[in-house]
Amino acid sequence: MLVDKPSGLLSVPGKSPEHADCLERRMRDLFPEIRLVHRLDHPTSGLMIFARNAQAQRHLGLQFEKRQLKKSYIARVSGRVEGHSGHINLPLICDWPNRPLQMVCFDNGKSAQTDWEVLERKAHATRLCLYPKTGRSHQLRVHCLAIGHPILGDSFYGGERNQAAAERLQLHAATLEFRHPNGGVWSRHSSPCPF
């Protein structure tokens, strides 16, 4: 089951009672058998996939683990990105004193790779299509920051000016392409970008 998660809604419940409301819980109220397959950050909007049974969850989970599933995100980043496309290969690790923040670490970080292409340039911002090749926590946010173009509206990595430049994180999970758990046929789905 594919769901279009709004920005500002948790994917799964947080530890404190005020963070109990989340997409997983809302889905489980409607479909008690639903099973979580992956997550999106709280401020990120876009497509999430849920499984309807344990077999489908295993099948989809393996596609994520083996990097067989294809994803794309739309992001509006600060500044004018030079070039038409590129590849970011910067390993990431949790910044423990500042968790949940992540950071680039060549010594102990796990492989993190993102392809990107420019969709549109404005005076002070660029719209990118991001193609994560790995699925590390905050990967797209940290990779954009690392190349000097933080995502607009990012309260973690954008700094005050970039955070104030948009009312929400300008990151949207736009497409998901995967093999359907029942039969293995490729299935592609998209969600229109709200910004």
Q: Locate 25 and state its tokens.
A: 């819980």
Q: Locate 171 and state its tokens.
A: 């990151």
**Strand partners for 75:** 128, 171
Report the distance separating Cα 57 and Cα 182, nearest Å. Answer: 11
Q: Check 21, 29, 41, 107 and give the catalytic one.
A: 41
Q: H helices within the chain, ranges in order? A: 23-30, 54-65, 139-146, 159-164
Amino acid at 109: G
Backbone angles phi, psi at 15, to 5 degrees: -75, -35
Sign of torsion over alpha carbons 127, 48, 132, 137:
positive
Report the distance separating Cα 49 and Cα 56, nearest Å. Answer: 11
Assess whether 41 carries a catalytic annotation. yes
Report, as residue numbers or ranges, the catalytic residues.
41
